[in-house]
Amino acid sequence: MSIKSNAEFDIVVVGGGLAGLTAALALSTEIAQATEAAIGNARVALVMPKSDRIDGRTTALLGQSVDYLEKLGVWQECVSLSAPLSTMRIIDGTSRLWRAPPVDFKAVELGLDAFGFNIANAALGNALLSKIKAQSKIVIIEDSISDIQSGAETAQLTTANKQSIYARLVIAADGKNSIMRQKAGISVHKWQYPQMAVALNFTHQYSHNFTSTEFHTEEGPFTIVPMTDLDGKYQSGLVWVMHPENADRFLLQDLAKQEKQVEEKMQSILGKISFATTAQQFPLSGMIAKQFADNRVALVGDAAHLFPPIGAQGFNLGLRDVREICTFAGNALSAAKDPGSLQVMDQYNRSRRRDVSTRTGAVDMLNRSLLTDFLPVQAVRGLGLFALANIPVLRKFAMRQGLSVARQKPSSAA
């Protein structure tokens, strides 16, 4: 929409991906409730360029992530569009000397019906946007931000259409190449992996039984995640990580050969398969911001951290970003204080540092352990998986850490 230049908001969220949509909704609902007595008119702006691109990927929502979306009133619209994740299986698909036995993580061991749910990004995005449009205190601005100048009391954002917007706090949810992060002067640590990920959805002959299966191979993980049925057929999503030259070779094959290769790679555990979407590829890289907030800008999602698609941690970590900045900004506003103050920036920085660093480091270490030919590393990895398979207490601890789970009973949506 077009807005009057020099419009003022308490908080501006930049970015229309899942993290940005969730941040805008969470800030408008949670903070408006917390600050009603103090200011009564808290407003949030969501700046997102209009796009016709459809995201064909899926997202696995774990533990508290589902609870959080339920709290925001979104998950109720998504239940029928998602598939529960009752079992998460790891299979050592390497041909190396040290091979571990299969490990099954079952939600029932934690007293849960499911660890979480797998949902198409497009479906979740549509549900979030629909909820946002029903909120009176969110203004959607279909534009992009070209510049930002942070001052003592507000930040001035300039849109591509040369309009000025003022905010006390800016949430940067504009992805791994975040313009907001760059303009705020926040540097990052980046690294590349010698890997390419191929993603697609496919239908199959046998039921997935709500099991996510991750084959560990010498080139990276080959991960199958259950989805809702498609036209009465079983459906799953696939993310296959491999060397770039092998990814290029795979994509140059005709459809029949691609389907045959995928079926063979998964050892035909789901029977005959048929692609439901065209295979797409994207390079694997890692990134972590050296600060998560500065100069009235707080980073969430891929603007703050990025790592390979292992263990379903990416968007779940982004939702924890959103939850934390909502807490600190809400506390400031409820006390009639500045939500973009140095104190809030410092609180958010400190709260996210350990969580993000720990998750990023763990995923990076696991991915690199698959690529190495160094026997001691292979042995340690194999022994670790063997211990998880055979020691229930250790397995339950690992599951709770993976979920960041606080509840010990199934969600009502399960």
Domain of 148, CATH number, reads: 3.50.50.60
What is the model's pTM?
A: 0.84
Q: Has residue 411 been placed in a domain?
A: no
Q: Has residue 93 been placed in a domain?
A: no
pLDDT at 40 over 50: no
Average pLDDT on 366-392 reads 52
- Beta-carbon contacts of 10 under 8 Å, excluding residues fewer than 6 positions away, are 31, 39, 42, 43, 44, 167, 168, 169, 333, 339
- Chain Cα centroid distance, residue 236: 18
Average pLDDT, the chain: 84
3-state class of 267 per DSSP? Answer: coil
Alpha-carbon distance 15 to 88, whole Å? 32
217 CB neighbour count, 10 Å cutoff: 18
- Beta-carbon contacts of 206 under 8 Å, excluding residues fewer than 6 positions away, are 234, 269, 270, 271
Q: Tell me what pLDDT residue 209 has.
A: 95
**Contact by Cβ (8 Å): 108, 161:** no
- Report which DSSP code applies to 108: G
Parallel, antiparallel, or unpaired for β 220-230 and 233-242? antiparallel
DSSP result, 2-24: ---TTEEEEEEEE--SHHHHHHH
pLDDT at 377 over 70: no
Q: Has residue 295 been placed in a domain?
A: yes
Host domain of residue 159:
7-62+120-190+286-369
Q: Has residue 293 been placed in a domain?
A: yes
For the chain, give the longest Cα–Cα distance.
66
Classify 164 in phi/psi space as left (phi over 0), alpha (psi -120 to 50) or beta. Answer: beta
Higher confidence at residue 374 or residue 256? 256
Alpha-carbon distance 364 to 30, whole Å? 34
Q: Which range is least confidently modeled, 125-134, 170-179, 200-209, 304-313?
A: 304-313
Classify 6 in phi/psi space as left (phi over 0), alpha (psi -120 to 50) or beta. Answer: left
> Which residue's entry shows tokens 């002067």?
185
3-class SS string, 174-229: CCCCCHHHHHCCCCEEEEEEEEEEEEEEEEECCCCCCEEEEEEECCEEEEEEEEEE
Structural domain total, the chain: 1
Q: 243 burial class (0-12, 13-18, 19+ CB within 10 angstroms)?
A: middle
Q: Tell me what pLDDT residue 368 has.
A: 59
Q: Which range is least confidently modeled, 12-21, 50-59, 235-244, 398-407?
A: 398-407
Alpha-carbon distance 129 to 26, whole Å? 12
- Chain Cα centroid distance, residue 361: 16
- Report which DSSP code applies to 76: G
pLDDT tens string 65-113: 999 999 999 999 999 999 999 998 888 876 755 666 778 888 888 888 8
**Contact by Cβ (8 Å): 227, 117:** no
Alpha-carbon distance 27 to 379, whole Å? 46
Length of the chain: 414
Q: Has residue 184 been placed in a domain?
A: yes
Q: Tell me what pLDDT residue 336 has.
A: 85
Q: Which range is least confidently modeled, 292-306, 338-352, 388-402?
A: 388-402
- Cα distances from 181 to residues 13, 141, 147, 358, in angstroms, run 13, 20, 11, 22
- Cα distances from 230 to residues 82, 83, 162, 226, 255, in angstroms, run 12, 12, 45, 11, 19
